[in-house]
Amino acid sequence: MTEQHWEKRIAYLGPEASFTYLATKAIFPTEWLVPCATIPECIEAVADGKVDLAVVPMENALEGSVTLTLDYLFHEAILYVTGELQLKIQQHLMVNKAQKDHWESIKGVYSHPHALAQCHKYLFYRFSHVPLQQTTSTAAAAKYVSENPNECIAAVGNAAAAEKYDLEIVQPNIHDFHFNHTRFFVLSKQNIRLPQELSDGQAKTTFMITLPTDRSGALHQVLSVFAWRQLNLSKIESRPLKTGLGDYFFMIDVLADEKEPMMRGAMEELAALGCKVKSLGTYFTYLTSDES
Ligand SMILES: O=C(O)C(=O)C[C@]1(C(=O)O)C=C[C@@H](O)C=C1
């Protein structure tokens, strides 16, 4: 955080100039940032104690959840959310400067699948004949385009990536809807919280809940546990349990601190209903002002 000097090691989905990097750098300007090639690599790095924190994308306003992050947190790792970062997302089409006069003849568009999906309309109407190639991040796509000056290809990513990898932005703001933001989780092995200063001050708790058995009304009962206590939910999403078709767990965000008496009561009632509840902890949201 800007007011502290933790000198922590923080893994992020890299390389440098990815959106995850911009969100991380905005909130941790002085810490040691460690790029990882994939979301599982970031999560494993913090789970194995190689870094203190890891920052991974978890939800985009246009494309929805980053399911790899949610599933990995449920199935593979025991980690806590210490904070949530939010970043405004602006996607630009960029080419190698050696190709800037021929950009309308591009033979491929490279980017992270979420970024390509956020620009679906533009790419479909403008370049429907051009194959889309998935990369591990938008910055990885920009790096690839910069390392291949003889290929007439483009990357989709942010302005910082264009600058870092010396590319020319040939079409700015190609995302389909103006309101484009992404949420990122800051993960830790400890159930700790980033300092509340600089956050929006609203405590949020994320639970992963498995219903007892396939009995009618079970989800209704779970929701009523929160409803009658006037605990406000800001997200609910079902994901496959991976044990069979129709088996799900639910990821629920509640706008309250898990230490509040009402939340403790809710947890007790869920247990009495036979639900398995995994709390990822209570955390605050930090709005990053980076204009990418
Ligand atoms: O590729 C990047 O730059 C990322 O940080 C990943 C990611 C994502 O997974 O959603 C983050 C923000 C944008 O929504 C697009 C891509």
pLDDT tens-digit profile, the chain (292 residues): 554 555 899 999 999 999 999 999 999 999 999 999 999 999 999 999 999 999 999 999 999 999 999 999 999 999 999 999 999 999 999 999 999 999 999 999 999 999 999 999 999 999 999 999 999 999 999 999 999 999 999 999 999 999 999 999 999 999 999 999 999 999 999 999 999 988 999 999 999 999 987 678 889 999 999 999 999 999 999 999 999 888 899 999 999 999 999 999 999 999 999 999 999 999 999 998 754 4
Residue-level pLDDT at 192: 94
User: Do residues 283 and 84 touch, judged by C-beta distance below 8 A?
Assistant: yes
Give the burial string for 202-238 (b: 16+ CB within 10 Å, else e): ebbbbbbbbbeeeeeeeeebbeebbeebebeeeebee
Q: Is 112 in the pocket of ligand 1 (CB under 6 A)?
A: yes
Residue located nearest, by CA, to atom 4 of ligand 1: 19
Q: What is the ipTM of this complex?
A: 0.97
Residue-level pLDDT at 276: 95
Residue-level pLDDT at 261: 97
Angle among Cα 276, 281, 283 to the nearest 5 degrees reads: 150
Nearest atom of ligand 1 to the alpha carbon of 62: 14
The C-alpha atoms of residue 284 and residue 195 are separated, in whole angstroms, by: 8
What's the predicted TM-score (pTM) here? 0.94
Give residue 20 CA to ligand 1 midpoint distance, Å.
6
Q: Is 182 in the pocket of ligand 1 (CB under 6 A)?
A: yes
Q: Is 156 in the pocket of ligand 1 (CB under 6 A)?
A: no
Which pairs from 239-243 meet CB under 8 Å and 24+ separation?
Answer: 239/67, 239/70, 239/71, 239/74, 240/71, 241/210, 242/71, 242/75
Q: Is 89 in the pocket of ligand 1 (CB under 6 A)?
A: yes
Q: Is 140 in the pocket of ligand 1 (CB under 6 A)?
A: no
Q: Is 60 in the pocket of ligand 1 (CB under 6 A)?
A: yes
Q: Is 111 in the pocket of ligand 1 (CB under 6 A)?
A: no
